[in-house]
Amino acid sequence: MKVTLDHLTKVFPSRNRKTGKDVIAVNDFCFEIPDGKLVGLLGPSGCGKSTALNLLCGLLKPTEGRILFGDEDVTSLPAENRGVGMVFQNYALYPHLTVRQNILFPLENLKGKDKLSKEEMERRALEAADLVQIRELMDRKPNELSGGQQQRVAIARALVKTPRLLLLDEPLSNLDARLRLQTREEIRRIQKETCVTTVFVTHDQEEAMSISDVIVVMKDGVLQQIGRPQEVYDQPVNLFVAKFLGTPPINVFRAKVKDGWLTIGQQPVLALEEGIEGDVMAAIRPEGFILDENGPLTCRLTEVEVMGRDITVVSNHPDCENVEIRSIISSDETVDLSSGSVQFALKSHKVFLFHPETGARIPFRVKA
Amino acid sequence: MSQQTEFERIEAAALRRKRVVRTVTYVMLTLWALVVLFPFYWMVLTSLKSYSSYNSEYIPQLYTLSPTLQNYEDAFTQVPLAGYFANTLIFTLITTALMLAVTVLAAFAFARLEFRGKNLVFTLFLALMMIPNELVVITNFVTITELDLRNTFAGLILPSVTSVFYIYLLRENFAQIPDELYYAAKVDGTSDLKYLLKVMIPICRPTIVTITILKVIECWNSYVWPRLITDEEAYYLVSNGIQTIRESGFGRENIPAMMAAVVVISVPLIILFLVFRKKIMAGVARGGVKG
Amino acid sequence: MEQQGKKAWLYLLPAILFLGVFLVYPLIDVFIYSFEEGFNFASQSYLGLGLYNYEYVLHDPYFLQAVKNTFILVLITVPLSTGIALLISVGLSSIEKLRELYQTIYFLPYVTNTLAVGLVFMILFKQTPYTDGLANLILSWFGAGPVDFIGGPYWAKMFVLCFYTIWIVLPFKILILTSALASVDQQYYNAARVDGTPRLRIFTRITLPLISPTLFYLIITGFIGAFKAYSDAVALFGTDLNAAGMNTIVGYVYDMLYGSSGGYPSFASAAAIILFTIVLTITCINLLVSRKHVHYS
């Protein structure tokens, strides 16, 4: 089932009646979540992504706009009737019920024509438990489980009623680093097996990039960009998105376009086709640097980190916003630390230009 | 299209149900609030009615158009209400002060000092919490009688001083103060007593205020022990005074004057409550049981 | 270390003195009293040791009346007050407007003098030659009454006693339950809502189990408190509870100790010990039941 958000807005009235301004947690969202896909809602904390999730499941009512499940308008349908499955950040497993009772809980709520027999419920609970591989834990209480196991139970409970939409709120934030990697693969697998349209919220761009079919980048309640992870990485629409995605982060320089040349400091680094003039922000991905003795960009070299497969060259430049410039090059190359400086040439498709005030992307073409 | 109307139906039903539940909730809450408030209203109202107008109301009137303060005057002149008040004040102040001293010292010993058998003694103290007052009152009555302390403040106060629960509460609070503060004070040459007075008590002031207020409430309302130990009116506390007023004061039937006395007795605690509302409720929620 | 040990005992001394004289010694002494037959208060002498005191008390019609009254009071007020408190607390937790006001009002009876407000209840319910009282006025709207609730039939007196007791104990229970309800993690409710759980089922399957330890604590302390009922009865019916037929077990103990029928600490001790055997038994039963039904996290 595809989900459509149509001019969705959520405003929280200010707590402080006198001075405070209303908080616009979600501002005029318009996008479509394609059927059967895994969508990552990504943004720094406080950007409104959890609010968006709560609007989708019906725990919050939008101030304006509509939500459509397929063709049905569910905007004012209460959470109870939406038929979505949700995994909460702290899992919200009922502590007084066993794993089995927790998983059965949503099924026991079904009424009327949807009501299931005892055997059918049991069968579906086991099916869900098998899917997340926790069959042997069925008679334990939540406090006897590890964080990862609790996470699986929460997923099973969300899936058992075969929801139209599965929502996960920061599903990995309470797990340690090792489990995090494992669990995110697990979520990917479960989503593939069940083909349920899934939305998850995260502030960790790596997490979102690695498993999502589509990522939605948000900032301050405003949708920034939506697209396949690679697409968003390769074609960020603004400086925020460019900075938010990628580790190590993108390197941002205060630059100028003068006489058809992109100029950093006094050094002309790229020849551009006509049409751009004046101050710009030039952002260069770490993998966009090429070691080249005759390269146009000179940086002060501080350190070289050898990571096996590749090398990180750490340097700095007075016009760079980042404290240190991190560039990743193949380990076949060698860097001479003693010289104290390093020369780079640039891969033009890894260089983006942005408007210095608005941060909007400025498209350019390299002069051949 | 039919699906759309189905949704609207569900939504409308949910909204309706929510409104009904909300209304029922407020009606219920207001009803109980009235039940709680009504006796207070009635006592103030009655205390403002004159003796003759009250007695001529065969059907009770819910308001009065000619309020009078005569009853308050009577309450202070015809029965020794001021005396009851003074007694209760003395009893409450001394008992609370003694309780604080004893409690703070004991809590300090348990929380800060090391001595052999500390855990055993503390466990014994905790076990004492379970002893109901009704069991020990009998012997205490005999003890105080034998010591010839009946109808004295000493007899009233001494058995009412200690409260194991407060020692426990304060010890827990003291124990939360980091050890480093104590060691730092020791290095500076601070004595234990000075450390207790200058560091621990100020830090734990909220708890101390709480137990003080709870003890004041307990003292102000205490009835059973004062009744056993005093039979001279000169030593009556307000509870016993009220009982006496009810049985023999004002020529029995002067109910407006009785109500004036009741109002006078109730007002101090209600003011105390309204001022320290949050503290009192938090304190009681932490384990106070009506004494 | 040794020196600190001595100092520690010094700090503890006042507490130990007070507790020893007025709590530990009396506790032991009360058992001794209860076995001393024919104790004479004036000469502080007794005739022999035995179970006569218990036998006397258990055959005293006043004591049996007191036991009956106490049991009726306990059985009516404990479930009713806990139930009403739960209902009110749930209502309180579901609203936002006026919540603090309601909470403040509900707590008022806690800080009032039981004897003083009891007097107000008495005049509300009492029938005198001059007036039938307010309670009877309300009854008359429904075509019933008039009944003298203070000096009339047994059930009417018991009704007032129960009503007043509930009025007095509710503040504590509402306060405790409201804070228990507030401590339930909102996420459980959200999860239940997303799973389409009806309100009533959320209450019975999630809220109740999660606050069950508090609920049980209230029931146990409620039983203990109600068994010790005394001053509320005095407030309503006066000090001569035996004459009113409304005495409680604790009232019986005090009457034996003091007043016109007093001077028998041995009987009082025996009655007190019987009372606490009852309370202890009930508490143990409560604890056993709770182990099965209460979820302790």
pLDDT tens by residue, B192-202: 888 888 889 99
Q: Cβ–Cβ of B138/C175 closer than 8 Å?
A: no
- Nearest residue of chain C to residue B104 (CA atoms): C11
- Nearest residue of chain C to residue B44 (CA atoms): C120
pLDDT at position B291, please?
Answer: 38
- Nearest residue of chain C to residue A56 (CA atoms): C194
Within chain C, which residues score under 70 in pLDDT?
1-2, 40-44, 259-262, 296-297
Same-domain pairing of B112 and B195:
yes
Summarize pLDDT for A279-291 with one digit per residue, the tens.
Answer: 999 999 999 998 8
Same-domain pairing of B193 and B83:
yes
Same-domain pairing of B203 and B235:
yes
Summarize pLDDT for A205-260 with one digit per residue, the tens.
Answer: 888 998 899 999 999 889 999 999 999 999 999 999 999 998 889 999 999 998 88
**Residue type at A23 in one-letter notation:** V
Residue C112 lies in a domain: yes
Least confident span in A300-314, B19-33, B55-69: B55-69
| Chain C neighbours, 3+ Cβ pairs < 8 A | A, B
Residue B239 lies in a domain: yes
User: pLDDT higher for A277 or A228?
Assistant: A228
Residue B255 lies in a domain: no
Residue B283 lies in a domain: no
Residue B270 lies in a domain: no
Same-domain pairing of B131 and B30:
no
Interface membership of B66 toward A (CB under 8 Å): no
Q: Which residues of C touch B140 (CB under 8 A)?
A: 22, 26
| C-alpha gyration radius of chain C | 24
Q: How far apart are CA B200 and CA B188, in angstroms?
A: 16
Q: Cβ–Cβ of B11/A78 closer than 8 Å?
A: yes
| Chain A neighbours, 3+ Cβ pairs < 8 A | B, C
Same-domain pairing of B175 and B233:
yes
Report the Cα–Cα distance between both ends of chain B, in Å, rounded. 66
DSSP H helices in A160-246: 177-194, 205-211, 229-234, 239-244
Q: Which residues of A touch C187 (CB under 8 A)?
A: 88-90, 92
Region A36-50: what's the mean pLDDT? 89
**The Cα angle at residue A63 between residues A58 and A68, in degrees rounded to 5:** 50
Count of the separate structural domains present in chain B: 2
Residue B128 has pLDDT above 80, yes or no: yes
Report CA dihedral (A243, A247, A253, A256) to the nearest 10 degrees. Answer: -70
Least confident span in A124-133, B45-54, C80-89: B45-54
Same-domain pairing of B59 and B97:
no
- CATH label of the domain that carries residue C182: 1.10.3720.10
The parent domain of residue C159 ranges over 65-293
Smallest CA–CA distance, residue A76 to chain B, in Å, is: 7
Q: Cβ–Cβ of A81/B10 closer than 8 Å?
A: yes
Q: Which residues of C touch B243 (CB under 8 A)?
A: 115, 234, 238-239
- List all residues 6 or more positions away from C94 whose beta carbon is below 8 Å from its beta carbon: B21, B22, B25
Same-domain pairing of B119 and B242:
yes
Region A340-353: what's the mean pLDDT? 90
Residue A31 has pLDDT above 80, yes or no: yes
Residue B290 lies in a domain: no
The 8-class DSSP code of residue A41 comes to E
Residue C57 lies in a domain: no
Q: Cβ–Cβ of A74/B7 closer than 8 Å?
A: yes
Residue C51 lies in a domain: no
The parent domain of residue B181 ranges over 79-247
Instruction: Give C79-84's long-range contacts (Cβ < 8 A, gap of 24+).
Output: C80/C162, C80/C166, C81/C165, C81/C166, C81/C169, C81/C170, C81/C173, C81/C222, C82/C173, C82/C215, C82/C218, C82/C219, C82/C222, C84/B32, C84/C166, C84/C170
Closest among C27, C34, C6 to C265, alpha carbons compared: C34
Neighbours of C173 (CB within 10 A): 25
Scan for tokens 């006042």, then name that residue: C14
Same-domain pairing of B144 and B103:
yes
Residue B286 lies in a domain: no
Residue B4 has pLDDT above 70, yes or no: no
Helices A118-131, A99-108: inter-axial angle, 10-degree rounding: 120
Same-domain pairing of B115 and B241:
yes
Q: Which of C190, C205, C209 sits opposite A92 (nearest CB)?
A: C190
- Nearest residue of chain C to residue A87 (CA atoms): C191
**Residue type at A217 in one-letter notation:** V
Same-domain pairing of B38 and B96:
no
- Tell me if ipTM is over 0.90: no
Q: Which residues of C touch A96 (CB under 8 A)?
A: 209-210, 212, 295, 297
Same-domain pairing of B202 and B148:
yes
pLDDT at position B1, please?
Answer: 44
Burial class (CB in 10 A: 0-12, 13-18, 19+), B257: buried
pLDDT at position B290, please?
Answer: 42
- CATH label of the domain that carries residue B94: 1.10.3720.10
Region A108-127: what's the mean pLDDT? 87
Closest among A56, A64, A54, A59 to A24, alpha carbons compared: A64
Question: Of A81, A82, A113, which to mutate for an interface test with B (greatest number of B Cβ within 10 Å)?
Answer: A81
Q: Which residues of A touch C200 (CB under 8 A)?
A: none
Same-domain pairing of B91 and B181:
yes
Sorted by where each starts, the structural domains of chain A and their CATH numbers stand as: 3-244 (3.40.50.300), 251-362 (no CATH)
Residue B54 lies in a domain: yes
Neighbours of A347 (CB within 10 A): 12
Residue C129 lies in a domain: yes
- List all residues 6 or more positions away from C290 whose beta carbon is below 8 Å from its beta carbon: C216, C220
Count of the separate structural domains present in chain C: 1
